[in-house]
Structure 1
Amino acid sequence: MDLISSLLIALGLSMDAFAVSVTGGATMSHDRLRGALAAAIFFGGFQAFMPVIGWLGGIGFSDLASSYDHWIAFALLALIGGKMIFESMTVEPSERSADLLDLRLLTLLAIATSIDALAVGVTFAFLDVSILVPVAIIGTVTFALSFLGVFIGSRFVGLLDNRVEVAGGLILIGIGLKILLDHLFF
């Protein structure tokens, strides 16, 4: 997988963690630096770890699906992207509030926002992609965007709303379409 595709996947996957961080930053009245670090570590860590789990699980099935892998990758990324767009339209921003200093809540949010990364890991296995570089990029991008998201949220409360998650969903759908078209026509 090339660097640009890895970066775009990382951006797409990090958008829900970024949106939660923005919301958390908007609701934090104190200790934003600690909240930003906690969000970055948890979201970046889980976003990097979950694709590895998906990749390990998907390796056993990759030989069975090698002639359909591009369709599977497209379907998974399109479903994940579509889910992100749908949820951004149906869940009110006020319902996304998060106390980024509550470690139990932060763990649950990190798991919830990284489920998509698990499915992407399965896709990597089907496409026979080396996992180390994409995982490092996904974790780093999510870390940085989650950290920044807390501070952006404190400055621009209500301005971004669901646009970030819509953009992330569209990016993932676009990557899935690129994979499909590359295998069908090139």
Structure 2
Amino acid sequence: MNIASTLLLALAMSTDAFAAAVGKGAALHRPRLREALKTGVIFGVIEAITPLVGWGLGRAAAPYVMSWDHWLAFGLLTILGLRMIRSGFTAPEVTEEKPDSHSFWVLALTGLATSIDAMAVGAGLAFIDVDIVSTAATIGFATMIMVTIGFMVGKMLGVMVGRRAEIGGGLILIGIGSVILAEHLGYMS
């Protein structure tokens, strides 16, 4: 996987976390930079760990699926992309009361929920030639930046922008899966 694919993957993986962060920022009475940075770090660390876990699970299964691994990567990325697109079209929850901050556990659980797809992507990456540590670090760093920004602008932009970002991220995942499949089938060199 080249650097452009890695950066696009990191961007795609961070969009659902960005959407959640916009919602978290919009849900607060007044989002503060300190809260945004805390949220960014929590989401980024979780988003960096989950592809490593998925990659380890995928490597354990690799000898059993070597002849159709490209189809597996394509399928996983397409399913995750479609899930993100569907989620982007889902109406956001409306809450009446706005707190001043979110607890660590609420943020960690939200970060974990938005990173399950990164675990599946990590499993798919186990079947191709990729430096998983640098890829996971790139995903985590991109998520930290996107979440921090999303959290701070959540109040101004509202939930709708976050939903559009999630749709774009889903389309990127489907595109990456298609490129992996085309490369393995010999359509791209």
Interval of TM-score (by shorter of Structure 1 and Structure 2)? over 0.9
Name the residue aligned to 1:79. Answer: 79
Does residue 1:172 correspond to 2:141, yes or no? Answer: no
Name the residue aligned to 1:101. Answer: 102
Q: Which amino acid aligns with 2:104?
A: L
Q: Which amino acid aligns with 2:177?
A: G
TM-score in terms of structure 2 length: 0.91
Distance 1:96 1:35, change over 3 A: farther
How far apart, in 2, do the equivalents of 1:96 and 1:161 lie?
Answer: 17
* 8 Å Cα contact 1:20/1:96 also seen in 2: no
Stretches of structure 2 that go unaligned for 5 or more consecutive residues are: none
TM-score in terms of structure 1 length: 0.92
Structure 2 matches for 1:112-127, cutoff 5 A? Answer: 112-127=113-128
CA-CA distance at 1:159 after TM superposition: 4.8
Q: C-alpha offsets along residues 57-96 of structure 1, whole Å, 9 cap, x if unaligned?
A: 1111112212211100000000000011112223x22359
* 8 Å Cα contact 1:61/1:126 also seen in 2: no
How far apart, in 2, do the equivalents of 1:159 and 1:58 lie?
Answer: 35
Please list every run of at least 4 consecutive aligned residues from structure 1 whose deviation after the TM superposition is greater than 6 angstroms. 96-99
Q: Which amino acid aligns with 1:182?
A: E
Stretches of structure 1 that go unaligned for 5 or more consecutive residues are: none
How far apart, in 1, do the equivalents of 2:95 and 2:170 lie?
Answer: 17
CA-CA distance at 1:161 after TM superposition: 5.0
Structure 2 matches for 1:10-89, cutoff 5 A? Answer: 10-89=10-89
